[in-house]
């Protein structure tokens, strides 16, 4: 079925209909070409973590749909859990797939400045008189009852709203028209708290839809046959989507990876991305969405878990979050110019405002904890 709305042709692809509301009904345009679909040529550096600048647009017609900030924060936490493989159910990944399971090295941070540079909590709220949204573009436009996107080159736009009865989410692929580029999640499948549908209560509809936004297709390649694939060698061939949590399901002669975030199993069943998926997402972020990310790489560390120190750039400040107390930190650029040098800090979160324009620069950040240190490289977009 082809719809033409606002000058954009949408290809409507039913994921699968089980007679109930499906996780992901619509994918808009698949402009992926084979050059970057197959993950040739690694551009992912060891220990590199990419942080995505996020805005959440709540578009509501009832009080219940106007979900609280805490529910939105629970979704960001769920994304940071799943995309760093810090999910506690990672231990449940079937033994046969453990060797390909990956820390995708991606984090999400609500924006701290809006497109005009004003301070924000990264959340917008818009009342609409539309009772629900179909999988068309109206959600992306003020004039059609939705909310205009924030500059899609600089923000991942996540919409939370009441979606039509047949689906819980959709996501656009890299290369989508910049006016309609983002993901949409039903308010009953967003976050890990609140009034949520039981099978979609762990925030993994967003994990899945953002996977599309980062260029991942469904495991079964949307072909409903063993001749069509997702193009990645470390996800097994799969004929059709899964439902529920059928861990023993086979198709195409091998065990299906029903725990993968890009299948359609229940939230409680999903727990992994693969190395191939992680590499492809990093490639796509750098090629197509480079302005939404901050890159940080741990160069060396001693006695501090490198996953537990998170560094990113948020508009006009550098933010450091650590699981241990930070005792001292120092930021220098590659010519040795010292930006900041603080001792006796004693905090876990540090916000460092920057007065100079440092766009396009590379900084070294040395952080000292009680028992050790890390040195990281931060690349400012």
Q: Is 292 in the site for Zn ion (CB under 5 A)?
A: no
209 tagged catalytic: yes
The residues near 155 (Cβ < 8 Å, ≥ 6 apart) are 53, 54, 55, 111, 115, 149, 292
Q: Which is nearer to Zn ion, 147 or 208 (CB)?
A: 208
The token pair at 272 is 């992994």
Residues 10, 24, 311, 378: which binds Zn ion (CB under 5 A)? Answer: 24
Residue 282, helix vs strand vs coil: helix
Q: Which is nearer to Zn ion, 65 or 265 (CB)?
A: 265
The token pair at 351 is 């916000």
Q: Write the DSSP symbol of residue 177.
A: -
Longest dimension (CA), the chain: 63
Residue number of the CB atom closest to Zn ion: 24
Q: Which is nearer to Zn ion, 24 or 156 (CB)?
A: 24
Using the rule CB under 5 A, give the single segment among 18-26, 118-126, 220-228, 326-334 that binds Zn ion: 18-26
| Shortest distance in whole angstroms from residue 236 CB to Zn ion | 18
Tell me if 26 sits within 8 A of 176, measured CB to CB. no
CA 260/CA 270 separation, integer angstroms: 6
Site track 357-376 with Zn ion (rule: CB under 5 A), x = hit: --------------------
Strands 183-186 and 169-172: antiparallel
Q: Which is nearer to Zn ion, 24 or 158 (CB)?
A: 24
Applying CB under 5 A, the site for Zn ion has a residue count of: 1
| Shortest distance in whole angstroms from residue 262 CB to Zn ion | 7
Tell me if 331 sits within 8 A of 356, measured CB to CB. no
Using the rule CB under 5 A, give the single segment among 22-30, 106-114, 140-148, 235-243 that binds Zn ion: 22-30
The token pair at 75 is 């979704």
Q: Which of 48, 64, 199, 209 is catalytic?
A: 209
CA 110/CA 54 separation, integer angstroms: 5
Using the rule CB under 5 A, give the single segment among 21-29, 307-315, 331-339, 343-351 that binds Zn ion: 21-29
| Shortest distance in whole angstroms from residue 15 CB to Zn ion | 6
User: Given the structure tokens 């709203």, which residue do they identify?
Assistant: 161
- Contacting positions for Zn ion (CB under 5 A): 24
Residues labelled as active-site residues: 209
């Amino acid at each position: 079925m082809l719809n033409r709305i606002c000058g954009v042709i949408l290809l409507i692809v039913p994921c699968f209909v089980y007679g109930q509301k499906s996780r992901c009904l619509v994918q808009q345009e698949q402009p992926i070409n084979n050059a970057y679909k197959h993950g040739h040529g690694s551009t992912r550096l060891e220990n590199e973590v990419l942080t995505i600048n996020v805005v959440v647009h709540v578009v509501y017609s009832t009080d219940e749909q106007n979900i609280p900030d805490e529910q939105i924060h629970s979704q960001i936490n769920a994304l940071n859990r799943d995309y760093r493989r810090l999910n506690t159910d990672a231990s449940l990944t079937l033994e046969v797939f453990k060797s390909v399971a990956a820390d995708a090295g991606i984090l999400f941070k609500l924006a701290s400045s809006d497109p005009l540079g004003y301070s924000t909590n990264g959340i917008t709220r818009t009342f609409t008189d539309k009772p629900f949204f179909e999988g068309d573009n109206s959600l992306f436009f003020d004039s059609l009852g939705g909310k205009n996107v924030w500059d899609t080159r600089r923000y991942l736009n996540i919409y939370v709203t009441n979606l039509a009865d047949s689906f819980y989410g959709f996501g656009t692929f890299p290369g989508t028209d910049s006016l309609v580029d983002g993901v949409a999640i039903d308010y009953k499948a967003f976050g890990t708290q609140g009034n949520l549908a039981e099978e979609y209560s762990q925030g993994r509809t967003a994990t899945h839809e953002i996977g599309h936004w980062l260029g991942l297709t469904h495991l079964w390649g949307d072909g409903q046959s063993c001749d069509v694939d997702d193009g990645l060698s470390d996800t097994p061939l799969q004929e059709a989507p899964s439902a529920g949590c059928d861990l023993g399901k086979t198709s195409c002669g091998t065990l299906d990876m029903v725990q993968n975030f890009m299948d359609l199993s229940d939230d409680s069943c999903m727990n992994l991305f693969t190395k191939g998926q992680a590499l492809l997402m990093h490639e796509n972020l750098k090629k197509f969405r480079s302005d939404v990310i901050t890159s940080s790489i741990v160069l060396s560390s001693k006695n501090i878990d490198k996953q537990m120190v998170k560094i990113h750039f948020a508009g006009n400040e550098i933010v450091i979050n650590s699981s241990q107390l930070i005792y001292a930190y120092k930021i220098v650029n590659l010519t040795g110019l010292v930006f900041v040098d603080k001792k006796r800090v004693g905090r876990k979160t540090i916000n460092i405002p920057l007065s100079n324009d440092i766009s396009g620069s590379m900084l070294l950040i040395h952080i000292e904890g009680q028992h050790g240190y890390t040195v990281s490289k931060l690349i400012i977009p």
